[in-house]
């Protein structure tokens, strides 16, 4: 279960990278489209037509951010109770709390654009905390038999 905890935490960190890449791809595609004469308005990104190919990255960002990452964070939190990771419940709880804030910031940024900056900063925080949580669950180094014997004999 310790390995599952570690993999889930690393997947969350990887998802932050995917999220950043998807958003950068979508923004680059939008900039290229506008440079070519495209016009951005309320209906440009809604509807059945896709004004530029990279718009799909916005959908990836939305689905990952609203479904995949929260599901992974919830699974990590549940796994933490069984993994036996030192302070694993606290670290996974921190990851879950940051994800909840991240989702709220993401949905609120359309109404208050300044929250978009906090959304990006919070993503970096999520990346770091997920990596630290994964680090807590790394395999313990094996102690060679000679060291065990020496320790048992000397008591040190």
What is the model's pLDDT at position 123?
Answer: 97
- The answer on pLDDT for 156 being more than 60 is no
What is the model's pLDDT at position 44?
Answer: 63
Residue 59 lies in a domain: yes
Residues 102-147 have pLDDT tens digits of: 999 999 998 999 999 999 999 999 999 999 999 998 877 766 666 6
The arithmetic mean of pLDDT across residues 73-101, rounded, is 95
What is the model's pLDDT at position 42?
Answer: 66
What is the model's pLDDT at position 18?
Answer: 97
Instruction: Round the CA-based radius of gyration of the chain to a whole number and report it.
Output: 21
Instruction: Select from 34, 35, 36 the least CA-distant residue to 45.
Output: 34
Residue 152 lies in a domain: no
Residue 134: both structure tokens together: 């994964």
Instruction: Print the domain residue range for 14.
Output: 2-29+50-138
Under the banding of pLDDT at 50, 70 and 90, the label for residue 38 is confident
Concatenate the DSSP letters of all residues of the chain into one string: -HHHHHHHHHHHHHHHHHHHHHHHHHHHHHHHHHHTT----TTTSSSS--SSGGGHHHHHHHHIIIIIHHHHHHHHHHHHHHH--TTHHHHHHHHHHHHHHHHHHHHHTTTSTTHHHHHHHHHHHHHHHHHHHHHHTSPPPPPPHHHHHHHHHH--
Residue 102 lies in a domain: yes
Instruction: Select from 122, 60, 85, 121 the least CA-distant residue to 9.
Output: 85
Question: What pTM did the predictor assign?
Answer: 0.82
Residue 95 lies in a domain: yes
Residue 61 lies in a domain: yes
- The answer on pLDDT for 153 being more than 90 is no
Residue 15 lies in a domain: yes
Residue 145 lies in a domain: no
Mean pLDDT of the chain: 88
Under the banding of pLDDT at 50, 70 and 90, the label for residue 150 is low
Residue 112 lies in a domain: yes
Tell me how far apart the alpha carbons of residues 7 and 13 are, in angstroms, rounded to a whole number.
10
Give the count of domains, the chain. Answer: 1
């Amino acid at each position: 279960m310790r390995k599952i905890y570690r993999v889930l935490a690393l997947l969350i960190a990887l998802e932050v990278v995917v999220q950043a890449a998807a958003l950068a791809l979508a923004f680059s595609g939008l900039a290229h489209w506008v440079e070519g004469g495209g016009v951005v308005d309320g209906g440009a990104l809604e509807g059945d037509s896709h004004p530029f190919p990279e718009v799909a990255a916005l959908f990836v960002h939305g689905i990952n951010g609203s479904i995949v990452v929260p599901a992974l964070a919830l699974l990590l939190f549940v796994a933490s109770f069984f993994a036996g990771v030192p302070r694993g419940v606290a670290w996974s709880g921190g990851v879950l709390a940051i994800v909840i804030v991240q989702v709220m910031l993401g949905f609120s940024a359309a109404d208050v654009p300044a929250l978009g900056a906090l959304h990006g900063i919070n993503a970096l925080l999520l990346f770091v905390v997920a990596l630290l949580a994964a680090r807590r669950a790394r395999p313990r180094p094996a102690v060679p038999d000679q060291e065990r014997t020496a320790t048992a004999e000397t008591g040190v």
